[in-house]
Chain A
Amino acid sequence: MVAVVSVAAALWLRLKMDPWLAGQPNFIMFTLPIMLSAYAGGLWPGLLATALSGLAVGCYVPALAGQTFATWWQEGFLMLAGVIISGLSESLHRTRRRAGEGQELFARSFRLSPDCVTLTRLRDRMILEANDGLCALWQARREEVVGQPAGRFIVWADEAERSRFLQRLHAQGECLNHEAKLRIRDGRELDFNLSSRLITFGNETCALSVMRDITGHKRAEIATARLAAIVDSSSDAIVGKDLAGIVTSWNSGAEQLFGYRADEMVGQSILRLIPDERQAEETQIMDSIRHNRTVRPFETVRRCKDGSTVEVSVTVSPIRDAAGRVVGASKVARDITERRRAEQQIRQLNAELEQRVRLRTEELEAANRELEAFSYSISHDLRAPLRAVDGFSQAVMEDFGPQLPADGRRQLDVIQESARRMGCLIDDLLAFSRLSRQPLEKQPVDMARLVRSVLEDFAGECATRQVEVSLGELPPCAGDHRLLRQVMVNLISNALKYSRKRTQPTLAIGCQTATHPPVYYVRDNGSGFDMRYADKLFGVFQRLHRAEDYEGTGVGLAIVQRIVNRHGGRIWAESAPDAGATFYFTLQRSDAS
């Protein structure tokens, strides 16, 4: 288009100017459209303009001017010049086009690179250009960055390292893949991979730098190294295998457990470890793994390098790739030989213990039987001679009484009284020993009713002696009804006995419910006792009073204490001589103790 128009214009101009140019060479005027066309369009428009110009010069101009010879060499010169101009223009065009493409490619990759790319003037560290990656990391717009000194956005954590980097950059013109810690604008210190190269840009020495944030990568590397260290230091065997059962990793635990080195096992089939009769196990395991199921810990036997077998507990879990596909399995095996041995030992110790308990129980049962036989024999055999002592004293008294002096009769009385007293002692002792042998039959007990029923048994004595009885609150409890009745009978009869010398005897029975467990009590205003001897109060045959003052065998309170203790409770007393006594007891274990 340019070629046709410009040639036409040149022709027209030449024709117009002909009056002034007559006789002058005709072709000069046509070099202009050729150059113009070639410059604008390159080779082909240039050639077209050359051809048109040739036609114009060859056909019209000579016809106009009537010239012949001169036209031919002019014609030839124009054609040659036109072809050369077109060729040169074409080559210029191509060079320019290539340069433009290269520039665009550069600009695109500069902009689009996910890495941070900057062009910095070395003289004042002024940022001349920055890409999107950099702006994103620095959280700034490009306009805020370009034209600013780089130091406003990024600082080397280690200034000495920066000097070394720059020295190398100056010395070698470039410094590639340098790892450094840099502090960015928000204060974070990140790991970067840094590459710089010196270039000349606009007559200035600049550094073109590419920085890659490798903080996450570094962290992952550290984490991986740590995990690897954990796996490697584990005393458990940790083995990786692919779905075909080929070993892919083998830690030192596995080396120790199975005896194979990693280089002996990696790439080999895991079946090497499995005894012949258990090969089916592996098929089942891999089946579970393919279905993405972890194989719960199970105990089995594996074969070691030296042919020996080892008892192991094995857990196998699927290994998935990033897309979640199962690509293999990790297997953790633990040597349980030691545990087995310990278990065996525990079993053996348990068996021994049980055997000892059995023996001890048998001994106890034998002792119990002996005790039973003993008390039976006391009950039966010890009383017979006493009966003889008492009976024959009576016989003497009856048959020969009148012939005896008064003193003799009194002495016979003492013999009889002693025999009867011993009979009582034996009876009480038997009752006491029977308490330990009887099973405790616990049931809900209405203590208020129980105490009223006991008091009825003593109603006669209370009425005669005008005892003032006061009953407090008596909450129900759990216990053996018969034995608790025995406790109340003994405590109440004691209270009545020791307040016998009072003209106004009082008896108070109640319970302190503010505490837990509740504390039952029986109080009298009798002769009391000295607290110094309180520890002797509950001992068998222990008495704090003279027999001629208060009769008794000294077993009653021992029986009470035995019953209370068997209920899990506690009994104690408070008193002072001649100031009455209070007996307290509980029937369950206190929570505190």
Chain B
Amino acid sequence: MIPAEPLELLLVEDNPEDLELTLRALRKAKIANQIQVARDGAEALDFVFCEGAYAGRRPDFPKVILLDLKLPKVDGLEVLQRLKGDPRTRTIPVVMLTSSKEQSDLVKSYELGVNSYIVKPVNFEQFAAAVQELGFYWLLLNQISAPSPLP
């Protein structure tokens, strides 16, 4: 699928229920139309850097990336490290969206340069509100320097 409109949001989530609920919340808030989903860390990295299955896609970067922490293959912290360690993707805002309240995860994420860290509440209403707010903030309010396109 090659979206005609510019890509707005990359959602990296392995849990199908969380994925469905997150998409539902985003759709309800009518924030993002162009949402790309990756089901694990490897797929997320392939997509961003146009490698593997995504080698032929139109090279553009999402405006924001919502990243789960615990992911199959390559976990969220490693994905974060790769994104923030690469000059091309360093400026893309990354929001950790996770169940973990562990202090160590939080500290590590900020050390790696995460832009926001959101703990998913059990309460769906609160969860939906959180997703809407962060989409609203990162996609509409926040002014970012446009990442340089891939060569």
How would residues 67 to 85 of chain B score, 1 for a CB under 8 Å from any chain A CB and 0 otherwise? 0011000000000000000
Determine if A384 and B18 form an interchain contact, defined as CB atoms under 8 angstroms apart: yes
Which residues 390-444 of A have a CB within 8 angstroms of B? 390-395, 416, 419-420, 422-423, 427, 430
**How far is it, in angstroms, between the C-alpha of A388 and the C-alpha of B15 when the chains are bound?**
10
Determine if A387 and B100 form an interchain contact, defined as CB atoms under 8 angstroms apart: no
Q: A385-B17, A387-B17, A391-B21 are contacts. A380–B123 as well, Cβ < 8 Å?
A: no
Determine if B102 and A379 form an interchain contact, defined as CB atoms under 8 angstroms apart: yes
Residues on A with C-beta less than 8 A from B21 are 387-388, 391-392, 395
Interface centre among B18, B101, B124 (most CB of A within 10 A): B124
Q: Choose among B99, B102, B123 the residue that contacts A384 (Cβ–Cβ < 8 A).
A: B99
Nearest CB to that of A386 among chain B residues?
B122
B125 within 8 A of A: yes
A93 within 8 A of B: no
CB distance from A415 to the nearest CB of B (A): 12
Q: Choose among B15, B24, B98, B123 the residue that contacts A390 (Cβ–Cβ < 8 A).
A: B123
How would residues 108 to 151 of chain B score, 1 for a CB under 8 Å from any chain A CB and 0 otherwise? 00000000000011111101000000000000000000000000
Question: How many residues on the B side are at the interface (Cβ–Cβ under 8 A)?
Answer: 19
CB distance from B79 to the nearest CB of A (A): 16
Number of A-B contacts (CB under 8 A): 61
Residues on A with C-beta less than 8 A from B70 are 380-381
**How far is it, in angstroms, between the C-alpha of A380 and the C-alpha of B98 when the chains are bound?**
8
Determine if A391 and B17 form an interchain contact, defined as CB atoms under 8 angstroms apart: yes
Residues on A with C-beta less than 8 A from B99 are 379-381, 383-384, 387
**How far is it, in angstroms, between the C-alpha of A25 and the C-alpha of B121 when the chains are bound?**
178
How would residues 470 to 510 of chain A score, 1 for a CB under 8 Å from any chain B CB and 0 otherwise? 00000000000000000000000000000000000000000
Residues on A with C-beta less than 8 A from B101 are 379, 427, 430
Determine if A388 and B17 form an interchain contact, defined as CB atoms under 8 angstroms apart: yes
A376 within 8 A of B: yes
Question: How many residues on the A side are at the interface (Cβ–Cβ under 8 A)?
Answer: 23
CB distance from A333 to the nearest CB of B (A): 64
CB distance from B89 to the nearest CB of A (A): 26
Determine if B102 and A387 form an interchain contact, defined as CB atoms under 8 angstroms apart: no
Determine if B127 and A376 form an interchain contact, defined as CB atoms under 8 angstroms apart: no
Which residues 352-401 of A have a CB within 8 angstroms of B? 376, 379-381, 383-388, 390-395
**How far is it, in angstroms, between the C-alpha of A422 and the C-alpha of B123 when the chains are bound?**
11
Residues on A with C-beta less than 8 A from B24 are 391, 395
Nearest CB to that of B101 among chain A residues?
A379
**How far is it, in angstroms, between the C-alpha of A430 and the C-alpha of B101 when the chains are bound?**
9
Residues on A with C-beta less than 8 A from B69 are 380
Determine if A390 and B122 form an interchain contact, defined as CB atoms under 8 angstroms apart: yes
Nearest CB to that of B15 among chain A residues?
A384
**How far is it, in angstroms, between the C-alpha of A226 and the C-alpha of B101 when the chains are bound?**
83
Determine if A387 and B122 form an interchain contact, defined as CB atoms under 8 angstroms apart: yes
How would residues 6 to 18 of chain B score, 1 for a CB under 8 Å from any chain A CB and 0 otherwise? 0000000001011
Q: Choose among B98, B100, B102, B124 the residue that contacts A391 (Cβ–Cβ < 8 A).
A: B124
- For this complex, 7 residue pairs linking A to B, each with C-beta atoms less than 8 Å apart, are A379-B101, A390-B124, A391-B17, A392-B21, A395-B21, A423-B123, A430-B101
Q: Which 4 A-B pairs have the closest CB atoms?
A: A423-B122, A388-B17, A391-B124, A391-B21
Chain B interface (Cβ within 8 Å of chain A)? 15, 17-18, 21, 24, 69-70, 98-102, 120-125, 127
Known pairs A387-B99, A390-B124; list 19 more (Cβ under 8 Å). Answer: A376-B100, A379-B100, A379-B101, A380-B98, A380-B99, A383-B99, A383-B122, A385-B17, A386-B122, A387-B121, A387-B122, A388-B17, A388-B21, A391-B124, A392-B17, A392-B21, A395-B124, A419-B122, A423-B122
